[in-house]
Structure 1
Amino acid sequence: MKLALGLATASLFLCACTEVPEATTDDPVLARVHQRELHLSEMEGMFPPQASRADSTVIIEAFANRWARDAVLLWESEQNAPSDLNLDRLVRDYRASLVRSSYEEQLVSAKLDSTISQQELEAYYEATKEQYQLEKPIVRCLFVRVPYPTPEESRLQELWNNGKPQDTAALADYTRSYAEVALLNDSAWYGLDEVAQQLPEGTLTPDNVNSKREFSQQDGTHRYYFRLFELKPRKEIAPLSYVEEQARRAILHTRKREVLERTREEIFEREARRNNITFFSPDNWEL
């Protein structure tokens, strides 16, 4: 009811505000390109409930303009289509592809086991790790960026220097309150460029990172703390923890392909047993 009311209202606006190419009807024509026409009914659901006359006019004009551009291109394409273009076959093939893809998605959803054990993940990584060469350096580190002047600076300095487990927890509490950036997981890997972007330009680079394993510095707006634990340069094999999600996706992709291939074969064999598949000898072929 609301949609019909919206169209009726828009129709009134159209009659009042634009030139209608034909006598006013319940479904006025908005635009025409050669023999194709755009009718108001095709815009059902596009008008907000409280649209004003001006709003509806803008919506109609914008949609009609886009429609006309598409329709002109379609007409031009039809005029220049190759004489041997088999549209019926293209449409049939495209429909078959959509139907098959939809069914394959159902099969994957129903049959794919997405559980990946740590043992399987590690085995896959060991077998394929040569493909996980790093494209950029990565680091295990601690990094904190806080505003300057620094809130409770002496406390932060003490917590940063001590490195005791209880102080690590306290440091995390401090950074939740004051830090703009805090990387405190010493087992996590980060792209060196990602960390460097949080520092003044040129502070940390692939060329100087080994000589700047630990430092703190400040500029006019921030204070920075950095501690390097491990560096893996470009072209080394990435550690599993850094590529874990990528490896998991690869495992699931392989499983998906196997599910589809196995199911296709099962369906083929079933229909062959039911005598629903027939191959004809070359004598029957018309070449």
Structure 2
Amino acid sequence: MNFKGTLLIVILIFALSCKNKSVVEEKPLARVHNKFLYKSEMKSLFNSTISKEDSIVVARNYINDWIKKQLLVQKAELNLNEESKDIEKQIEDYRSSLLIFKYKQELIKQKLDTVITSEEIENYYNEYSGNFILNFNIVKALYLKISKEAPGIDKIKRWYKSTDAEDLSRLEDYCYQYATKYDDFNNSWIPFNNLLIEIPTNIGDQERYLKYNTYIETEDDLYYYFVKINEFSLKSTIQPLEYAKSKIKSILLNKRKFTFLEELENSVYNDALNHNEFVIY
């Protein structure tokens, strides 16, 4: 019987054994020297939705991986010196660190106040604004890409520059119907370079251009491109609060976590000290 057939029998036996709890003796599926793999160890691999073919693949991969692991462990046992094999302390240290980490994460989830107010963000920004310097130019912009076959381009040139609500409404209706791209980036700050990638133009001195130009109009063989720069902030200047907000929120939350965990450790220590749970010799 080939390996695939053997695996299929194993899986069928396993399925039957789940329904019949009276199986007395469990036969191994594989052996490496004195180590055995039993079907009960593979219980979590299968569920009611997995197909017969997939079950065969999963079982084969698991058995092969188990064999390779046992062979490597035995090679390591044979070839490493006693000092190298003395890993009990490392295992205990890892277990302790993992338990502590999980405990701390659970307490953070249960007890840490993760709400950062706008006032906290603004206060931090005002105190440490020098830490938030732009490394590149950013803009708030409106970007249009419209096929040269679309009608009414002259109207677009007027509407996208307008501040009149009715003109902007007409522009939006038009773009939903004809524009290949129409994006105001949710009125968020974006790197100017990201915008320039979208349009066929070459702007050498970005800072000078942004200072003296509000619009970009260009074209290629297929499309017209229109950009309206609503706001800009230049490289090497302080980031706008709105742009720095998410980073500040992350900083404040991490500070709050650090303080929470530090207080937790001190509390555990002091509580144990008060109850004579440890002795320092």
Q: Helix, strand or coil for the counterpart of 1:247?
A: helix
Q: Report the CA distance between 1:80 and its aligned residue.
A: 4.5
Per the alignment, do residues 41 and 277 of structure 1 end up closer, same or farther by CA in structure 2, a change over 3 Å counting? closer
Listed as ranges, the gaps of 5+ residues in structure 2 are 1-6, 15-24
Q: Deviations over 1:192-248 (max 9, x none)?
A: 222122223xx2556357436422222234321112244434443322211211110
Match of 2:167 in 1: 167
- 2:262 maps to which residue? 261
Aligned: 1:192 with 2:199: no
CA deviation vs aligned residue, 1:66-104 (integer Å, no higher than 9, x gap): 344444444444444453244222222222112211221
Alignment-mate amino acid for residue 267 of structure 2: E
State whether structure 2 residue 61 is matched by structure 1 residue 62.
Answer: yes
Contact 1:138–1:189 at 8 Å: present in 2 too?
Answer: yes
- Tell me the secondary structure at the aligned position of residue 278 of structure 1: coil
SS at match of 1:162: coil
The equivalent residue for 1:42 is 41
Q: Give the TM-score, by structure 2 length.
A: 0.76
Q: Does the Cα contact within 8 Å between 2:138 and 2:232 map onto a contact in 1?
A: yes
Q: CA RMSD of the aligned region, Å? A: 3.3
Partner of 2:138: 138
For residues 150 and 205 of structure 1, what CA distance do their matches in structure 2 show?
A: 27
Structure 2 distance, partners of 1:263, 1:47, is 41
Instruction: Name 1:158's counterpart in structure 2.
Output: 158
SS of residue in 2 equivalent to 1:217: strand
Distance 1:276 1:150 in 2: 80
Q: 1:64 to 1:128 in 2, by over 3 A?
A: farther
Q: 1:247 to 1:173 in 2, by over 3 A?
A: farther
Could you tell me how far apart the structure 1 residues matched to 2:222 and 2:69 are? 53
Q: Percent identity?
A: 24
Q: Hey, what's the Cα distance between the residues in 2 that align with 1:187 and 1:52?
A: 49
> Higher helix fraction: Structure 1 or Structure 2?
2
What is the rounded CA distance, in whole Å, between the counterparts of 1:102 and 1:186 in structure 2?
38
1:141–1:230: 8 Å Cα contact kept in structure 2? yes
Residues 115 and 35 of structure 1: CA distance in aligned 2, closer, same or farther (over 3 Å): same
After the TM superposition, which segments of 4 or more aligned residues of structure 1 sit over 6 Å from their partners? none
For residues 249 and 206 of structure 1, the distance between their equivalents in structure 2, rounded to whole angstroms, comes to 35
Name the SS for the 2:245 alignment partner: helix
Structure 1: 5+ residue runs without aligned partners?
1-6, 15-24, 281-287
Give the match for residue 3 of structure 2. Answer: none
After superposition, give the CA deviation of every residue in 1:1-23 in whole Å (9 maximum; x if it has no partner): xxxxxx98653599xxxxxxxxx
Deviation for aligned residue 1:44: 2.5
1:184 Cα deviation after fit:
2.5
Aligned to 1:101: 101
Choose the corresponding residue for 1:207, options 187, 201, 205: 205
The answer to whether the Cα contact below 8 Å between 1:150 and 1:223 also exists between their aligned partners in 2 is: no
Q: Deviations over 1:160-186 (max 9, x none)?
A: 132323323443444444444333269
Distance in 1, matches of 2:113 and 2:225, equals: 45
User: Does the CA-based 8 Å contact 1:136-1:234 persist in structure 2?
Assistant: yes
